[in-house]
Amino acid sequence: MHIVLVCPSKIPAVQYGGTERIVQWLAQLFAKQGHQVSLIALPGSRLDGVTCIPAVNAKQALLAIPQRADVVHFHGWEPTEALDRPWLCTLHGNTTEPEKLPTNTVCISQNHARRHQRSVVVYNGIDPHEFVYQPKKQNYLLFFSKIRRRVKGARRALTLAANVQSPLVMVGGYRSDLLKTGGWWDSWRSDVRVVGEAGGAEKARWFSQAKALLFPIDWEEPFGLVLMESLVSGTPVVATPRGSVTELIPPEVGALFEKDEDFPAALDHALACKPEVCRDWVMSRFTVDHCASAYFQLYQRLCDGENVFG
């Protein structure tokens, strides 16, 4: 099958990049499986075994679609009108106007779908080969999110770690970002380390060595790729129950809390979770193989003329 993936970013991502990495993993796996894969993305995108076609906006992306493509999968730059071939788009974020979404929209968790009035769900999946499984942990909590985004909860993470007298490593931004979100003074405690941006082997190391991932979000998370990255490393999760979190973090792999006073008990529960169970949870449900298989089934149904989206 000739599969076209469309993404309004440069692939691969330099450091983190959630959507970009999903697209990269899908493209590489489909190519490995023997499919012809074209990627329409920002100039400078390169992936082995994948034909990369540059575009800088939605109009260019549409014009760049190869004539012999069997299916087009948009991860942004979605069309505002019907195409002359099967297509679908994945919503990776949230919108306040779900009625304006294309009919052919896929959501990335059940919670995400309910909030956007959609019925088709494909969970994101990670490439476990990019991470390190390590059952023996060090004594620090890990905060791994965009520090500058207030809804990610960096300031609260600092408070929670202090309340349980635990060292905290913060990855995903810089101490100066805390001037905007709050927590700048607290970040100078001797048991707090602000790493900055991290990717590749460095990121894998932080995940594998942490005793738990702290995920105190204050928004409706569509999926939360970082949750799977932590769990596949054998590291349990302690999170607030927002968005997809309640369906992705069962008691076997972590704990949920709402009030700060409930955090110590939640952390104790998470620390009792077995690293091998955390990893197995991801390996059995949330790898790129699972994700690609689910999408490929949708591609086939669309190519067969089935009304997948009702």
Q: What is the pLDDT of residues 106-146, one digit of tens each?
A: 999 999 999 999 999 999 999 999 999 999 999 999 999 99
Alpha carbon distance 300, 64 (integer Å): 22
Q: Decide if 309 is inside a domain.
A: no
What sections of the chain are H helices per DSSP? 18-32, 58-64, 110-115, 154-163, 178-181, 200-209, 225-232, 245-248, 263-271, 275-283, 288-303
Q: Can you tell me the mean pLDDT for 214-231?
A: 97
| Same domain, yes or no: 156 and 100 | no
> Looking at residue 287, what DSSP letter applies?
B
DSSP SS3 for 39: strand
- Whether 310 is covered by a domain: the verdict is no
Whole-model pTM: value is 0.95
174 and 216: one domain?
Answer: yes
Domain that holds residue 185: 128-283
Q: How far apart, in whole angstroms, are the C-alpha atoms of residue 57 and residue 83?
A: 17
pLDDT at position 310: 79
Residues 90 and 186 in one domain: no
Residues 143 and 274 in one domain: yes
71 with 183, same domain: the answer is no
What is the b/e burial string over 263-294, where b = at least 16 CB atoms within 10 angstroms of the residue's CB? beebbebbeebebeebbbbbbeebbbebbbee
Mean pLDDT along residues 186-202: 94
- In this structure, the answer to whether residues 34 and 15 fall within a common structural domain is yes
Strand pairing report for 141-144 and 212-215: parallel
Q: What is the pLDDT of residue 13?
A: 83
**Do the domain assignments include residue 219?**
yes
Quote the DSSP letter at residue 107: B
Number of domains in the chain: 2
Average pLDDT of span 147-175: 97
Tell whether 308 is covered by a domain.
Answer: no
Strands 237-239 vs 212-215: parallel, antiparallel or unpaired: parallel
In this prediction, residue 44 has a pLDDT band, given cuts at 50, 70 and 90, of very high
Quote the pLDDT of residue 80.
83
In the structure, what pLDDT confidence band is assigned to residue 88 with cuts at 50, 70 and 90? Answer: very high
Residues 144 and 272 in one domain: yes
Are both 9 and 121 inside the same structural domain?
yes
What is the Cα–Cα distance from 113 to 301, expressed in whole angstroms?
Answer: 20
- Report residue 107: phi and psi, to 5°: -105, 170
Residue type, 282: V
Q: pLDDT band for 33, please (50, 70, 90 cuts).
A: very high
